Structures are given as structure tokens and as C-alpha cells.
Amino acid sequence: MGLNFVQCNLNHCRVAQDLVAQFMVEGRVDVALISDPYKVDSASSAWHASAGQRKAAIYVANTGVTVANVISDPEFVSARLNGVQVYSCYASPNRPIEDFQDLLRRLEDSIRTVQQEVPVLVTGDLNARSAAWGDWVDNRRGEELELLIESLGLVIANAGSTPTFSRGARSIVDVTLACDTLAARITDWRVLESVFNNSDHHYIRFSLTPGRDQVRATPATTIAPRAWNTAGGVANDTFLAGLILAEWLEQGDLQDWQDTERGASALRSRLTAACDFAFPTRRTTNPRKPPVHWWNADIEALRVECTMAKRRMTRMTS
């Protein structure tokens, strides 16, 4: 399956984090790649964060996305999403250049440990500026990041020269990088300059088309979320019968189990079939329901007004 991403620095702001969750619902976004999140729900399997102070995070809103090989560093986090090793990073602008160089060394070491056939996507606010990704200023961090890009053979996905950071003279410090085999699958990369998000960084949105193996393996239909009513308890015998039936329906094909991603998909398929057999279905919540409890029509109208004011300000300063 293809993936829809949003990338942004949230400035450690609670409202900005709530707004990105709302944006994902409205825009049908699968994954958020976050720098400087406000809070990470460590109890939720949807959240994956960097170590320590949790400066970077990956939030997977779509339960149909397979997640594996999670890597946590103090300044980046990585997870394999539908077979793509995705990195979300954050480098504070207040740290010395030696710390930034150390981050890039750790990032390079991590990327080089990824299996050669696995595509890599690297995103984040690294506070590095360079004309290579559309900025009009070059700095030392930009030079160091360019060396990393060249060393790893990465491709810069940033397009155009729309600023990603709106404070002051504005700049482009949020980057999206991909290995050469993945770059061709990135589509519709754009900076959403007019969307109000309560952050001084704009949203970056882009999509990732399915790989060839995913096109063959994934049906073209959208699978609705499933849920079952287990209030009456779990009948072990009935559930076991469901698993046996699911295995029989698959005709005992073990080929998928030799691959991690396909094995996970096959296991999920069997468990779904067994639950369908053993339990009554439960109506799921509306996927369009706002994820933040305070969202309402009045706030929606205020956001529209903020967006219009932001556009007027941009015209006046440009």
C-alpha cells in the first residue's frame, strides 16, 4: 500500500500536536514525522520516539501500516513502515557544531546497518541551511549535511524554495531525503504554507507510492477497521477452531512466513479470520471523528480565519 506523510516541527507545543492529529484525520494522512513533539504516548503502539528527552517521533495513525525494526537514538527515531526504513530527526539550533557532527555520524552508522535491499527515508528539522534544498543561505551545518547526503548516495526530495520555517527572515531547515531507489516513489512533495498549525514551521506533505512487490501483494481495495465484542469472554476452543479454519483456508502456504513483512501480514490475516469466527463484530468508531475532544465548529471557523490572516501577512511581507 502507498503511504501519506506529514512532516513538521511542533515546537514542543500541545496545541500544535493536537492540530496535527486533526489534520491527519481530515487529510487521511497515515504517518506523522515529528520534530520536537509535545508529548509521546509511550503506552500506545502508534507512537515511536527518540531516546531520552524524545526530541523526534513517528506517529502511525493507520493501523494497516506494518511497523518493525524500531531504532531509538537521543536525536532521531526510525521504524520500518511497510518495508521502508523511515527516520525522523531533530537537531537543536543551540548546540555546537561538534554535537551536530556527532549526530550525523550516528545517523550514518544507523543507516549503513539497514539491509541493502531496504529503502531508506530520512526526514526532520536539522537546522541546516543550503541552496542544495532550496534555501538562499548556506551554513556550516548545511555543508556537513551535504557531505552525509553525498556519502550515503541520498536524494533530496525538497522541491521549490517555499520556506519551511516562518519566523524572522524565514528559511528552509526541514529536509526530506531518500535513497535513490525510493526517491522515484515520492510524489506530491509540498510545503503547506497557508495551513494554520500553531507552529512556526509549516507542514510538509508528501506521498509514497507502493513498491513493485507491494503492488503485486496488496489488493486495490481499502480495508475498513475491524473490532469485536469480547465482553462475554474468550472461548478458547472456539478461537482455536477459528485459527484452524483460517490456516485451512490459506491452504497451509508457508512461503510468506519466510519474509518478516509478509509473515506479519499473514499472521494478521489469520487472527482477523479467527476473531470473525469466534466473536460478534463491534461497530468501530467513526474514522472521521476529531481526535481531540475540544474540536468543534467554532474552532474550525477560527482556524479558517487564522489561515486567511496568515495569507494576508505573507502577501504583505513578500
What is the tens place of the pLDDT at every residue in 52-79? 888 999 999 999 999 999 999 999 999 9
Kindly state whether residues 185 and 149 are assigned to the same domain.
Answer: yes
Q: Please state whether the predicted TM-score (pTM) of the whole model is above 0.85.
A: no
Kindly state whether residues 61 and 182 are assigned to the same domain.
Answer: yes
Continuous segment of H or E residues that includes residue 247: helix 236-249
CATH number of the CATH domain containing 207: 3.60.10.10
Kindly state whether residues 160 and 118 are assigned to the same domain.
Answer: yes
11 assigned to some structural domain = yes
75 assigned to some structural domain = yes
219 assigned to some structural domain = no
60 assigned to some structural domain = yes
Kindly state whether residues 253 and 183 are assigned to the same domain.
Answer: no
Residue 60's CB is within 10 A of a number of other CB atoms, namely 21
Kindly state whether residues 144 and 58 are assigned to the same domain.
Answer: yes
Least confident of 65-69, 218-222, 278-282: 218-222
Residue in 134, 161, 165 with CA at minimum distance from that of residue 7: 165
Residue 223's CB is within 10 A of a number of other CB atoms, namely 11
92 assigned to some structural domain = yes
268 assigned to some structural domain = yes
Domain end residue (candidates: 159, 194, 214): 214
pLDDT at 288: 46
Continuous segment of H or E residues that includes residue 303: helix 297-317
Kindly state whether residues 191 and 255 are assigned to the same domain.
Answer: no
304 assigned to some structural domain = no
296 assigned to some structural domain = no
pLDDT at 229: 66
Kindly state whether residues 243 and 142 are assigned to the same domain.
Answer: no
**Dihedral sign, CA of 266, 267, 268, 270?**
positive
Residue in 201, 199, 157, 163 with CA at minimum distance from that of residue 179: 157
Kindly state whether residues 22 and 92 are assigned to the same domain.
Answer: yes
Domain ranges, residue 106:
3-214
Kindly state whether residues 183 and 249 are assigned to the same domain.
Answer: no
What is the pairing mode between strands 186-192 and 84-90?
A: unpaired
pLDDT at 290: 53
Domain end residue (candidates: 214, 235, 267): 214
Kindly state whether residues 97 and 136 are assigned to the same domain.
Answer: yes
Banded model confidence at residue 273, pLDDT cuts 50, 70, 90? confident
**Dihedral sign, CA of 59, 65, 70, 73?**
negative
What's the domain count of the chain? 2
Kindly state whether residues 201 and 115 are assigned to the same domain.
Answer: yes
Kindly state whether residues 266 and 157 are assigned to the same domain.
Answer: no
pLDDT at 219 over 50: no
